[in-house]
Structure 1
Amino acid sequence: MSECAAQSFSGINPAKFACLVANAAKQGIKIDGNHGSASKSGITIAWNYAPETGNLTIQCMETPFYLGCDQVNSIIHELVNDCP
């Protein structure tokens, strides 16, 4: 499947980003550093975090055939919103 629309978040302070990194790790996705990409089970995500502005962009670059962008983007939002 092709890439999904990028998801942008603002107001992400370093503590919230650290929480997101921990939540993603629980799902088996290793977010390492302020920008990069990671893959697991046919899902590839890319992220770019700017701590100086608090802006975070996450984009699903690839999904397996049985997952749609709506499902993946919903999971991304849950992971981000679960952090205070």
Structure 2
Amino acid sequence: QHLLDFMSQPGPQMAAADLQAPSSERSTFAEGLGNARLEWLLLQRELETRIRDVEHIHHACAEREAHLQRLHGWMEEQRKQLHEWK
């Protein structure tokens, strides 16, 4: 979570020494930072999508498991009744 917070913050403020750097160097740095942030946002979106997909799968598996447990209980009851009739 700390990394998410850090990456979501606005860029650092320019220090006096940075202002003296050549304009092309600052532009290159800004472009690189912008590209890194864009990649980070795309990665976040992809992770959120995958997490949502896994949550849906987990929910479906939990429902299936509950159904199987009910079915198992019903089968046990049927087995007991068969043994009582014998």
More helix by share: 2
More strand by share: 1
Q: Which has the larger radius of gyration?
A: 2
**What is the TM-score when the length of structure 2 is the normalising length?**
0.26
**What is the TM-score when the length of structure 1 is the normalising length?**
0.27
